[in-house]
Chain A
Amino acid sequence: MRSDGIVTAPLNDTRAEVGELPDIGRREAGGWAVPTAAVLVLALLPLVLSPYAQDVVVRIAIYAVFALSLELLVGATGLVSLGHAAFLGIGAYAAVMGSGESGASLFFLVPIALAIAAAYALCVGLLSLRTRGVYFIMVTLAFAQMAYFVFHDTKVGGGSDGIFLYVKPVMQIAGTTVLDLANRAHFYYAVLVVLAATYAFIALLLGSRFGHALAGIRVNEQRMRAAGFSTTPYKLAAFVIAGALAGLAGLLLAVKDGGVNPELLSWHTSGEVLLMIILGGIGSLRGAVIGAIAFTLLKEACQSEALLGPLASHWQLTLGLVIIGFVAALPRGLIGLVERVRQVGAPRG
């Protein structure tokens, strides 16, 4: 994020200069340089990576979008949701069902996925935000399970088998196809653009007055109300934005997997994305992205028979133990490790 808070112009006559104000504790070293460099590296990766490895990168990038959306809730606003997969799944189902058997344009599918996920988030948020703490966790979980069973036990979305996405969406401008998600390279760069845009959007949001108000609510909601903030609309807005972005990630995931099934909405998925941001370090956007990378790679490694032999069929056990180890050793997540290394490397000052 850009290091902000520098105020040098005269402010009335109180004090001419305020220098750099220590802002909200969310300023990350290096400003925009690190994320920009990361995007450039990702853009060049297809030149050297195998198609399989590119697939892994795409999956990680989609999960990173999902994790960033949850970070807006958990890290920025202090709302721990254990039902975030519902929005991912609903976005995915909206995309697949909207595309039908003949396919559809992204100009139609993206707004549809965003809007339906946002609408469900609005309903869930309106009800769940009446509760706090562990009750909020349970209510969000309950709403996600409800959505899961609707898709699992009814014929709405093809039941427990889900639905195939027959034709991958395209984007056409004036009759020419500018983006065809069936094309591997097109899809790769489309996902990369969505990830970069999501990161930039949330970073911008957190640095704005809205973001500072969310931070205030996270730290001390009572004080915010006493100052005159109606805090519920703020929390609801964060909840809806997070839900919509998760829906966008769902659309990408449906395109990538060529279909949807109810497991996308299961509480396992909600738990996994929560683990991603915990693993990466709550309170940092980079942490959410690093967490998505680390979790996906760890899961991949634990499921690999080449690496672990017969143990691979019990990957949940090994993955669980590895994550417990990580969290015990790095209470502030992997991003905390990065900061520690930087502090050791940098001269004391």
Chain B
Amino acid sequence: MADASPTASTAATGTPLLSARGLGRRFGGLAAVDDVSIDLAVGQIHAVIGTNGAGKSTLVNMLSGELAPSAGSVHFAGHDVTRWPQPRRARAGLGRSYQRTTLFPEFSLAENCRLAAQAGAPRPWRFWERASADRAGLATALRVLAEAGLAADAERVAGTLSHGGKRQLEIAMCLATAPQALLLDEPLAGMGAEETGRMLALLTTLKATHAILLVEHDMDAVFKVADRVTVMVNGQVIASDVPERIRTDRAVQIAYLGDEAPTLAAGAAALLPEGAGPALGRPGGRPR
């Protein structure tokens, strides 16, 4: 069942593993995403930030294949995957996590991850063979749980995990499918400071071997780990650059703070306070 396993050389940083060109999606008269191009490369965390309703989740859904784009194309590991359904993209190495925690609460952590790993070797016709005999899957499960810092809880029932733990498990399940690219939709939402720190450390480790797209509202976190930041407003990209330049980008400040942003310096300071300021974590700024 394994589809076109990607063979393109993806190790070389700089060659995009995933690249979207001119992606657009209209819902009736509303353009949720309009002409967005984005590249992901191994060794890079590419953050996408933007106000609520900016189209970030729609973008992720189009990249993962859950939503068909009305315009544009998606290339992944040398294939044009624009018309591929989500399961096929996932088997080719495109993993994603969800904003809402979506794990299987009645299963153990290990079974959650084993089941995710099973997608790569489903063998559904072997009905006489116990799922628990899937040693390769269990080994993968235990490895990814260890990577995500959950090794000690392998036998625990997923529903009993803390919120942060569930977010970690979500990443572990994503890793269990052996992805090359990770699309992470707000992995830090609702996490405490300590949990956030652990997650950021995990992302930094994963970056060496994966291309990561990080949709996040926590600006401190974004500017701590991102190698590149794309800012979306009203479905469009208004800036895409390295974090240092995004900090001082005039269009970004206007988008987040409004036209009457007093001065560049003050705007930048308010936008990106060093150390804290969750008040601006979910900016509701007016568009241009």
Interface residues of A (CB under 8 A from B): 2, 4-7, 9, 11-12, 14-15, 18-25, 201, 204-205, 207-213, 215-216, 219-220, 222-231, 234, 237
Q: Which of A15, A19, A227 contacts B90 (CB 8 A)?
A: A227
Chain A residues within 8 Å of B156, by CB: 22
Closest residue of chain A to B134 (Cβ to Cβ) is A209
Q: Are A209 and B151 in contact (CB under 8 A)?
A: no
**Interchain residue pairs with CB less than 8 A apart (19):** A14-B146, A15-B142, A18-B155, A21-B154, A208-B131, A209-B129, A209-B134, A210-B126, A212-B111, A212-B118, A216-B104, A219-B104, A222-B102, A223-B98, A223-B104, A226-B86, A226-B95, A228-B177, A229-B122
A237 and B16 alpha carbons, distance in the complex (Å): 38
Q: Does B64 contact A18, Cβ atoms closer than 8 Å?
A: no
CA distance A15 to B145 in the complex (A): 11
Complex: A4 Cα to B138 Cα, angstroms: 14
Contacts of A22 in B (CB 8 A): 107-108, 111, 155-157
* Chain B residue at minimum C-beta to C-beta distance from A226: B96
List chain B residues, Cβ under 8 A from A210. 124-127
| Chain A contacts for B90, CB-based, 8 A | 225-228
- How far apart sit A205 and B110, CA to CA, in the bound complex (Å)? 20
B62, chain A: closest CB distance, angstroms? 14
Q: Is the CB of B111 within 8 A of A23?
A: yes
The answer to whether B130 touches A207 (Cβ under 8 A) is yes
Residues on A with C-beta less than 8 A from B118 are: 209, 212-213, 229
Contact of B119 among A9, A208, A219, A228 (CB under 8 A): A228
Asked whether, in the complex, the Cβ of B155 is within 8 Å of the Cβ of A20, the reply is: yes
Complex interface residues of chain B between 117 and 155 (CB less than 8 A to chain A): 118-120, 122-132, 134-135, 138-139, 142-143, 146, 151, 154-155
Residues of chain A contacted by B173 (CB below 8 angstroms): 223, 227
Query: Is B132 a contact partner of A6 (Cβ separation < 8 A)?
Result: yes
Residue of B nearest to A14 (CB): B142
Known: A215-B104, A222-B66. 19 other contacts (CB 8 A): A4-B130, A5-B111, A7-B132, A12-B139, A18-B142, A21-B132, A22-B155, A207-B131, A208-B129, A211-B127, A213-B124, A222-B98, A223-B102, A225-B90, A226-B98, A227-B115, A227-B173, A228-B120, A228-B177
Residues of chain A within 8 A of B107, CB atoms compared: 22-25, 215, 219
Q: Which residues of B contact A2 (CB under 8 A)?
A: 130
Question: Which residues from chain B contact A225 at a C-beta distance below 8 Å?
Answer: 66, 85-87, 90
Indicate whether B246 reaches chain A with its CB closer than 8 angstroms. no
Please measure, in the bound complex, the distance between the C-alpha atom of A18 and the C-alpha atom of B177, giving whole angstroms: 21
Docked CA distance A220–B134 (Å): 21
Q: Is the beta-carbon distance between A231 and B87 smaller than 8 angstroms?
A: yes
Closest to A2 in B: B130
A19 and B197 alpha carbons, distance in the complex (Å): 31
List the 4 closest A-B pairs by CB distance, nearest first: A228-B119, A228-B90, A210-B124, A228-B91
Q: Which residues of chain A are within 8 angstroms of B115 by Cβ–Cβ distance?
A: 212-213, 216, 224, 227
User: Which residues of chain B are near A11, meaning CB under 8 Å?
Assistant: 135, 138-139, 142
A112 CA / B223 CA spacing, docked (Å): 66
**B108 lies within 8 A of A21 (CB):** yes
Which residues of A sit under 8 angstroms from B116, Cβ to Cβ?
227
A21 CB to closest chain B CB (Å) equals 5
Closest to B110 in A: A21
Indicate if the CB atoms of B131 and A228 lie closer than 8 Å.
no
